[in-house]
Structure 1
Amino acid sequence: MLLSCGDALIDFMPASTGDGRDAYIPVVGGSCLNVAVTMARLGAPTGLMGGISTDLFGQMIADHAQRSGVDLRYATRSPHETTLAFVHFIAGEPHYVFYDDGTAAQRWTYRSGAIDFTTIDALHVGSTTLVNEPASTETLTMVDDARGSTTVSFDPNCRPNLVRDKALYAARMDSFAKRAHIVRMSDVDFDFLYGGDDHESKAAALMEDGASLVVITRGERGTSAWHRSAGRVDVATPPARVVDTVGAGDSFQGSLLMALREINRIAPDALATISTNELHRALTFAAACAAVTCSRSGANPPHRHELDVGLFEALLGDSPSPSSEPRMPPHRGV
Structure 2
Amino acid sequence: MIIVAGEALVDLVPAPSSADGQLADLQPRLGGGPYNVAVAAGRLGAPVGFLSRVSTDLFGDALVDRLRMSTVDVGLVQRGPEPTTLAVVGLDDDGSARYSFYVAGTADRLVADPGPLPAEVAAVSFGTLSLVLEPGASVYERMLRRESDRGTLTVLDPNVRVGLIPDPVAYRARFAAWLPHVGLLKLSLDDARWLAELPEDAPEDAVRAVLLDWLAAGPAAVVLTRGGAGLLALTSAGALVEAPPVPVSVVDTIGAGDTVQGALLAWLHSQDALSRSAVAGLDEEQWRAALGFAGAAAALTCSRAGAEPPYLAELAASRPV
What is the TM-score of this pair, normalised by structure 1?
0.89
Could you tell me whether the CA contact under 8 Å between 1:122 and 1:266 is conserved in 2?
yes
Deviations 1:35-76 (A, max 9, x none): 000000011111000110001111111111111111110111
Measure how far apart 1:102 and its partner are: 1.3
Match of 1:327? none
**Aligned runs of 1:65-80 on 2, under 5 Å?**
65-80=67-82
Q: Secondary structure at the match of 1:308?
A: helix
Structure 1 residues 152, 312: CA separation in 2 closer, same or farther (over 3 Å shift)? farther
Measure how far apart 1:305 and its partner are: 1.4
Q: Distance in 1 between matches of 2:188 and 2:61?
A: 30
Structure 2 counterpart of 1:109, from 94, 108, 112: 112
- The letter of the residue matching 1:11 is D
Pairing 1:97–2:100 present: yes
Structure 2 counterpart of 1:42, from 41, 44, 58: 44
- The letter of the residue matching 1:7 is E
- The letter of the residue matching 2:224 is I
Could you tell me whether the CA contact under 8 Å between 1:86 and 1:98 is conserved in 2?
yes
Match of 1:142? 143
Q: Distance in 2 between matches of 1:226 and 1:181?
A: 13
Q: Secondary structure at the match of 1:132?
A: coil
- The letter of the residue matching 2:34 is C
Match of 1:128? 129
- The letter of the residue matching 1:15 is A
Q: Distance in 2 between matches of 1:274 and 1:265?
A: 8
Match of 2:8? 8
Q: Distance in 1 between matches of 2:312 and 2:81?
A: 34
Structure 1 residues 223, 102: CA separation in 2 closer, same or farther (over 3 Å shift)? same
Q: Distance in 1 between matches of 2:262 and 2:178?
A: 18
**Aligned runs of 1:193-208 on 2, under 5 Å?**
193-194=195-196, 195=198, 196=202, 197=204, 198-208=206-216
Q: Distance in 2 between matches of 1:17 and 1:224?
A: 35
Q: Distance in 1 between matches of 2:259 and 2:68?
A: 17
Deviations 1:280-321 (A, max 9, x none): 1111110010000010110000011112268597xxxxxxxx
Could you tell me whether the CA contact under 8 Å between 1:4 and 1:47 is conserved in 2?
yes
Q: Secondary structure at the match of 1:264?
A: coil
Pairing 1:283–2:291 present: yes
After the TM superposition, which segments of 4 or more aligned residues of structure 1 sit over 6 Å from their partners? none
Deviations 1:250-309 (A, max 9, x none): 001110111111112221221121111111111111001000001011000001111226
Q: Distance in 1 between matches of 2:78 and 2:228?
A: 37
Could you tell me whether the CA contact under 8 Å between 1:256 and 1:286 is conserved in 2?
yes
Could you tell me whether the CA contact under 8 Å between 1:154 and 1:176 is conserved in 2?
no
**Aligned runs of 1:1-334 on 2, under 5 Å?**
1-16=1-16, 21=22, 22-92=24-94, 93-113=96-116, 115-116=117-118, 118-147=119-148, 148-194=150-196, 195=198, 196=202, 197=204, 198-229=206-237, 231-308=239-316, 311=319
- Structure 2's unaligned 5+ residue stretches are none
Match of 1:329? none
- The letter of the residue matching 1:126 is G
Deviations 1:112-166 (A, max 9, x none): 23x22x3112100000111122211111111112113211000010111111111
Percent identity, aligned pairs only? 34
Q: Distance in 2 between matches of 1:287 and 1:219?
A: 10
Could you tell me whether the CA contact under 8 Å between 1:199 and 1:216 is conserved in 2?
no
Q: Secondary structure at the match of 1:119?
A: coil
Structure 1 residues 284, 76: CA separation in 2 closer, same or farther (over 3 Å shift)? same
Q: Distance in 1 between matches of 2:58 and 2:209?
A: 46
Higher relative contact order (CA 8 A, sep 6+): 2
- The letter of the residue matching 1:5 is A
- The letter of the residue matching 1:177 is L
Q: Distance in 1 between matches of 2:46 and 2:36?
A: 14
Measure how far apart 1:173 and its partner are: 2.2
What is the TM-score of this pair, normalised by structure 2?
0.92
Q: Distance in 2 between matches of 1:89 and 1:312?
A: 31
Measure how far apart 1:109 and its partner are: 2.0
Measure how far apart 1:228 and its partner are: 1.6
Q: CA RMSD in A?
A: 1.8
- Structure 1's unaligned 5+ residue stretches are 314-334
Q: Distance in 1 between matches of 2:145 and 2:241?
A: 29
